[in-house]
């Protein structure tokens, strides 16, 4: 009896050890969810600072490069990447557009992945201007939309949905005439409209990480 009991104990030790080893050796590919409490406090509007969990990006309606209305419904059940730019920018925006294009091409076979680039100078970046810009870099309309529209709505999106700039970077922080956003952030959003990552859109290695993490989200 003692012999069998000893074998059972040895067997249990082996099984438990195997389980622990499996846990320790299996890479954790899950991505964190970013809520207001997880973001640098200076980037979070006062109305959202107490939200520890449950943040979702807010609905929106803007015009795309073909003059069609594009809303958050285009992103339903999709993983997407969003950035903020303007067509006449000569500093970080061309680099960001090139990196976004590279990411879009790398993920072109993924029907559940989409890209958004939202103009921060919508009064200048009209639909025809965005169309010419999109044509120049041969954007796939079904995959990547360039958006323009109401400046106040765009700036509220940037600050209260995606946390890419502090509430009052310049001016009143309300999308007024003197308000201006200029950020190199790419933001990754999952199918539940939750923020899952921030990336430097001017950095090749960071965009490589973005591409990898988009694929991770597709497996969730």
CATH of the domain at 40: 3.40.30.10
Which residues, 6 or more positions from 178, have their beta carbon under 8 angstroms from its beta carbon? 170, 171, 172
**pLDDT tens digits for 101-116?**
999 999 999 999 999 9
Residue 187 Cα distances to 13, 82, 114, 115, 201, angstroms: 45, 5, 12, 10, 9
Residue 146: predicted pLDDT = 99
- Calpha distance 147→66 (Å, rounded): 10
In a domain, 69, yes or no: yes
Whether 197 and 80 have beta carbons less than 8 Å apart is answered as no
Average predicted confidence (pLDDT) for the chain: 84
Which strands sit side by side in the sheet containing 144-148, from one edge to the other? 69-71, 61-64, 144-148, 113-119, 79-85, 185-189, 195-200
Count of structural domains, the chain = 1
Residue 23: predicted pLDDT = 38
In a domain, 92, yes or no: yes
- Calpha distance 219→113 (Å, rounded): 12
Whether 211 and 103 have beta carbons less than 8 Å apart is answered as yes
Whether 144 and 114 have beta carbons less than 8 Å apart is answered as yes
Whether 35 and 54 have beta carbons less than 8 Å apart is answered as yes
pLDDT at 43 over 90: no
pLDDT band at residue 130 using 50, 70 and 90 as cut-offs: very high
In a domain, 10, yes or no: no
pLDDT at 121 over 70: yes
pTM above 0.95, yes or no: no
In a domain, 128, yes or no: yes
Host domain of residue 59: 32-218
Of 21-30, 126-135, 179-188, least confident by mean pLDDT is 21-30
In a domain, 45, yes or no: yes
Counting Cα atoms < 13 Å in the Cβ hemisphere of 59 gives 3
In a domain, 11, yes or no: no
In a domain, 1, yes or no: no
């Amino acid at each position: 009896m003692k012999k069998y009991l000893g074998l059972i104990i040895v067997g249990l030790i082996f099984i438990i050890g195997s389980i622990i080893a499996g846990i320790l050796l299996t890479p954790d590919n899950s991505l964190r969810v970013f809520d207001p409490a997880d973001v640098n406090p200076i980037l979070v509007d006062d109305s959202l600072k107490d939200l520890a969990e449950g943040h979702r990006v807010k609905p929106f309606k803007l015009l795309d490069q073909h003059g069609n209305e594009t809303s958050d419904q285009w992103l339903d059940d999709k993983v997407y990447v969003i950035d903020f730019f303007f067509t006449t920018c000569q500093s970080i925006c061309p680099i960001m557009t090139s990196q976004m294009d590279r990411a879009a091409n790398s993920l072109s076979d993924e029907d559940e992945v989409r890209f958004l680039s939202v103009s921060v100078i919508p009064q200048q970046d009209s639909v025809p201007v965005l169309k010419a810009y999109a044509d120049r870099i041969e954007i796939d309309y079904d995959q990547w939309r360039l958006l323009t529209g109401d400046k106040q709505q765009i700036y509220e999106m940037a600050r209260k949905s995606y946390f890419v700039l502090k509430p009052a970077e310049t001016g009143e922080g309300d999308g007024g005439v003197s308000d201006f956003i200029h950020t190199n952030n790419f933001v990754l959003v999952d199918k539940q409209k939750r923020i899952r990552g921030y990336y430097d859109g001017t950095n090749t290695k960071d965009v490589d990480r973005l591409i990898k993490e988009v694929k991770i989200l597709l497996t969730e």
